[in-house]
Amino acid sequence: MTYKHFVVNKVTMNIRICLTTILFLPLSYTCLAQDNIPEKGDGFGGAFKVSKDWEPPRDPKAIRKLEAFQDLKFGIMYNWGIQTQFGTVDQSWSLCPERYVWNKRPAPYENEDWASYKKVYEQLQKTFNPLLFNPEIDAKTIVASGAKYILVDAKHHDGFCLFDTKTTDYRITSDNCPFSGNKNANVVRVMLEAARKNNLWAGIYFSKVDWNTPYYWAPQFGPATSRSENYDRHRHPELWDQFRKFTARQLQELTTDYGDIDILWLDGGQVSGNSINLADIAKSARERQPGLLVVDRCNGGGYEDYLTPEGIHQMPTHYIADAWEACVSMGDHGWAWTKINKYLDAESIIQLLVKAVARNGNLVVGLGPDAEGVLAPEVVKSLNEIGQWLKTNGEAIYNTRPIKPYESDNVFFTTKRDSTIYAISIQNKTDSLSSNTISIPSSLVEGRSNITLLGFKGKNLHYLPAGNDMVKVVLPSSINLKGIAAITLKISKNRPKM
């Protein structure tokens, strides 16, 4: 199999309908289904189902950028906001008038009417003062994890801006926020600068929804009743046009004033790209940011440069030819920090990463600091452990593509441009291997008799026929695999004798 077979499939796909994420609290929770359009596709999209009409980027520089993005494999979504002061609220969703089990309000405000709670929530701007926030430390922690890119939260659905926008006072750099005088107050700027300094790709997360601006939840039309705007945009086009211009100005700021940007990751699927003239926004942004990847998740229309299935239970269960990135929250109570979060351990994330890569995807993990600006110790510990595993096994992850049969039981296959093949065997951290062999398809070893175990300094491993077109690779008897999330066989061709 040659590397040309890895080029992104040109089959066009377009998002038609959306579903709710099952396990983790969603970033946009759901994308509104278009009326009278039947469901399509495999159903692996997190907040949506994926149709068979996905369109890869048309811009030549973005096409090349997408290929490079698929080499990176592992990223971090850096989620933060004023709601961390509550301690139990994930990002903006408690502000939404739709009530669910997963978007509860803090105990003192559980029975507050929506308008009263909105006032309480928005007053959090006046007490947000994360004096321990250190972008350099957080960037180095992310680098230590082996991640290759970061998506920094510029604005979630509540409309609170973590950048120095000129469009609203509802921002971290406003005099209304006690942190505004701090050298690190412009969170997006300092985090992206720290990312680039540490050789991470720089990406921005941005919600097109805005529950603060009067152009979305317009006060003259009474209380909001859903996550969507509280008026008919077709009956009030002048108001929607104000919202469109407001959103365009913010995106122009982010793609003009914050250095080189690699990814613009747009959330909030109820605001479609078409409704805010995303084509013009993206064209203008790419003039300033050549090759910019634009991810208008749930909406397609040529501006969903890669797909974004959300949550563990919505990851693809098999190889998908189109470019995708699974977005998974590290905490079980949402994407941002809460004191009640229980976090995925390193083993779980490593195994998700292995599965994503073998199925032609990337993995981005959501996490963020607390109200004081500090990452949870459990998060830092897991990130360091992931990084240690990738130091040994990363050559089987980075700059690879899947190779048939992609996976077999608990073994997952990738390959390099030079035709080196890797077989990554997922382990159970509580036990050593029940067998001292790993079974792989015989087609992967034909003409390649050099098989080694990454991280183990020893001779080439032997393999034996096992029937059903499989072989068993015999592992060194001295190896102790207890506590290791996955091990990797490297299968390379014989070198010619000199």
pLDDT digits (tens, 9 = 90+) for 318-364: 999 999 999 999 999 889 999 999 999 999 999 999 999 999 999 99
pLDDT given for residue 313 in this prediction:
83
pLDDT at residue 458 is higher than 80? no
Q: In what order do the strands lie in the sheet with 486-492?
A: 401-408, 411-415, 421-426, 486-492, 450-453
Q: Which option is the CATH number for 11-396: 3.40.630.30, 3.20.20.80, 3.40.50.11900, 3.40.50.450?
A: 3.20.20.80
pLDDT given for residue 199 in this prediction:
98
Q: How far apart are CA 304 and CA 302, in angstroms?
A: 6
Q: How far apart are CA 229 and CA 221, in angstroms?
A: 10
Residue 54: pLDDT band by 50, 70, 90 thresholds?
Answer: confident
Q: How far apart are CA 233 and CA 215, in angstroms?
A: 10
Q: What is the pLDDT of residues 206-233, one digit of tens each?
A: 999 999 999 999 999 999 999 999 999 9
What are the angstrom distances between the C-alpha of 58 and each of 62, 68, 282? 7, 16, 12
- What are the boundaries of each domain within the chain? 11-396, 401-492
Architecture of domain 401-492 in CATH? Sandwich (2.60)
Q: What is the pLDDT of residues 367-423, one digit of tens each?
A: 999 999 999 999 999 999 999 999 999 999 999 999 999 999 999 999 999 999 999
Span 57-63, average pLDDT: 94
Burial of 430 (0-12, 13-18, 19+ CB in 10 A): exposed
Strand partners, 415: 401, 421
pLDDT given for residue 481 in this prediction:
72
Average pLDDT, the chain: 88
CB 383 within 8 A of CB 144: yes
> In this structure, are strands 149-155 and 74-78 parallel, antiparallel, or unpaired?
parallel
CB atoms within 10 A of CB 474: 15
> In this structure, are strands 450-453 and 486-492 parallel, antiparallel, or unpaired?
antiparallel
Q: How far apart are CA 40 and CA 38, in angstroms?
A: 6
pLDDT given for residue 447 in this prediction:
78
Q: Model's pTM, two decimal places? A: 0.90
Higher pLDDT, 495 or 26: 495
Buried residues in 188-210 as b, exposed as e (16+ CB within 10 A): bbbbbbbbbeeebbbbbbbbbbb
**SS3 call for 449:** coil
Higher pLDDT, 467 or 454: 454
Burial of 326 (0-12, 13-18, 19+ CB in 10 A): buried
CA 170 from centre of chain:
26
Which amino acid type is present at position 243? F
Q: What is the pLDDT of residues 8-32, one digit of tens each?
A: 333 333 322 233 333 333 444 334 3
Q: How far apart are CA 357 and CA 364, in angstroms?
A: 12
Q: How far apart are CA 489 and CA 471, in angstroms?
A: 13
| Per-residue tokens: 250 | 């913010």
- DSSP track, 183-250: TT-SHHHHHHHHHHHTT-EEEEEEES--SSSTTTS-GGG-S--SSS-SS-TTT-HHHHHHHHHHHHHH
